[in-house]
Structure 1
Amino acid sequence: MPRFLTLIRIDERDVPEGGPSPELRERMGALMEEITKAGVMLDTAGLAPTSEGTRVTWSGGKITSTDGPFTETKEVVGGYSLIQAKDKAEALEWAKRFLRVHEEYWTVTAEVREINENC
């Protein structure tokens, strides 16, 4: 079965003070339990804020690094999941279910990409 990486994109400036609500955490926990029991979830996690990150770039034969926060970036990867699904349609359905557990005031984007096993 193919594997899919889902990148969860957020605008760090729009995250509610104190993070996700207890109700969101509860709904998220239930979904994570369901997807794990279904044998689909391989790995998932949230990421530290960009203020704690570093970008390393190779350009012109040189390595440079820049510490966060990255002010020129509006939307950042806030988390990820690695799943094994029968096809892209199933992977997209799980991503949609993940998005639906959020309250309406959240703006969250899920980018679903199949992992190319031949690289």
Structure 2
Amino acid sequence: MSKTLIAAAAAPLLLVGAASAQTAPAPAPAQDQAHAEHHAHPTIDSPIEALVNDPATKAVLEKHLPGMDKHPAYGQFKGMTLRQVAPCSQGAITDEKIAAIDADLKALPAA
């Protein structure tokens, strides 16, 4: 996917009101939390910024959504999960893409 497509996909985030930007991500279920602690990498339910800050998970994100951390609106959506950003992505972040990213994240060796 080109950076232009990512830019177009995230552009609607600029239109999201301040209230949406301030909404905290939903806490991960206990099972996911336990997996995250054991696995020591961010999960699909982690904020995008956490995925970008971990080299192993950033590689997975880059594989499926290259250049996401370079997007001009990154500062506005970095605290959101991929599932939260998906409805605003104009189809660039699909359920299938989220599932593929999730599978790759779960396949990472523990840090």
**TM-score normalized by the length of structure 2:** 0.31
Counting helix residues as a fraction of each chain, which structure ranks higher?
2
Q: In proportion to residue count, which structure has more strand?
A: 1
Greater relative contact order structure (CA < 8 Å, 6+ sep): 1
Bigger Rg over Cα: 1
**TM-score scaled by length of structure 1:** 0.30
